[in-house]
């Protein structure tokens, strides 16, 4: 259980950092927000993987497909976050 949580935080940090490096522009996020971005990205990537490939897409924690899904999900979550934050800044 503790190993899963630590692994989730490490994958979240790496996926969030890669997503922030890939998406152009400056994102004002700390380390905690980057980890949260990666964790949310992992959930988005896992959901999209299940949707596209079904339940038999693989049952392992550390697989290249899960890392790629986490990074793609983190990029999607970051783009949504940037869009929402820009929209709220315009309304102020």
> What digits encode the pLDDT tens for the residues 8-18?
778 888 888 99
Distance CA 88, CA 76 (A): 18
Distance CA 87, CA 31 (A): 24
Distance CA 75, CA 1 (A): 27
Domain boundaries, the chain: 2-91
Longest Cα–Cα distance of the chain, Å, equals 47
Q: What pTM was computed for the model?
A: 0.77
> What digits encode the pLDDT tens for the residues 61-90?
556 677 888 888 899 999 998 888 877 766
């Amino acid at each position: 259980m503790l190993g899963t949580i630590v692994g989730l935080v490490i994958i979240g940090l790496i996926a969030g950092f890669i997503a922030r490096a890939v998406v152009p522009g400056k994102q004002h996020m700390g380390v905690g927000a980057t980890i949260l971005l990666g964790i949310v990205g992992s959930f988005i990537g896992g959901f999209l993987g299940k949707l596209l490939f079904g339940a038999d897409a693989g049952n392992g924690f550390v697989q290249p497909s899960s890392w790629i899904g986490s990074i793609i999900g983190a990029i999607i979550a970051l783009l949504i976050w940037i869009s929402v934050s820009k929209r709220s800044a315009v309304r102020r």
